[in-house]
Amino acid sequence: MAHQNWPLIYFVRHGQTDWNRASRFQGQRDVPLNDHGRNQAKLSGEILNELVTRDGGSPDQFDWFCSPLGRTRETMEIVRQQFDADLPEVTFDDRLREISFGHLEGILASDVQRDFPEEHEKRSQSKWRHRPKDGESYAEVIERVNEFMHEHITRPTVVVAHGGVARTFRHLVTGEPGDVLDKWAPSQEAVFRFENGQFTEYAA
């Protein structure tokens, strides 16, 4: 499904929440950033500013998109504070929400093996193909993110969203398979650069 001709995309994952720190399934629950997450968002914004400058661009030439959840909204706000420029308005799109973990949301990852052994076994085999009860598979996330990308990404773009959505972008841009992306833990203090079918991660 890779599309080799996307414009330049900078992708930022939201900063840490208390649920991230505890390794608790978060999904589409609206959990706020913690103080460490706010510092991570600031760092990501500084990295993004450096990359835009390095690439000879101007931040007002980018379209800015964000998941509507609170942790991404706050991350976007902090990222944009690192630019000394008037920026275009942010567009919030539900298709950029995190993958839904259904009935697992709110549960510690360490408790899944004990409380839901069949679920644990399926996730151990492949997170990419697993669909939790009342949740989503990555195939469903790919469908909505792919629709968003074809509708909106027509010029250089900044996206602030989630780890699962980052994996989906990487799959759609590079064509890398799920068994590779299963093993990738997207950083919360980095910027992911997608262009011409290539992926590069710029971390602190």
- Cα–Cα distance measured from residue 12 to residue 45, given in angstroms and rounded to the nearest whole number: 9
Instruction: Please say if 171 is a catalytic residue.
Output: no
- Cα–Cα distance measured from residue 164 to residue 182, given in angstroms and rounded to the nearest whole number: 10
| Gyration radius (Cα) of the chain, Å | 16
In the set 14, 130, 162, 171, the catalytic residue is 14
Q: Which of 159, 164, 173, 107 is nearest to 140 (CA)?
A: 164
Contact 96, 63 (CB under 8 A): no
- Cα–Cα distance measured from residue 72 to residue 56, given in angstroms and rounded to the nearest whole number: 26
Instruction: Please say if 130 is a catalytic residue.
Output: no
Query: Is residue 195 helix, strand or coil?
Result: strand
In the set 98, 105, 136, 189, the catalytic residue is 98
Known catalytic residues are 14, 98
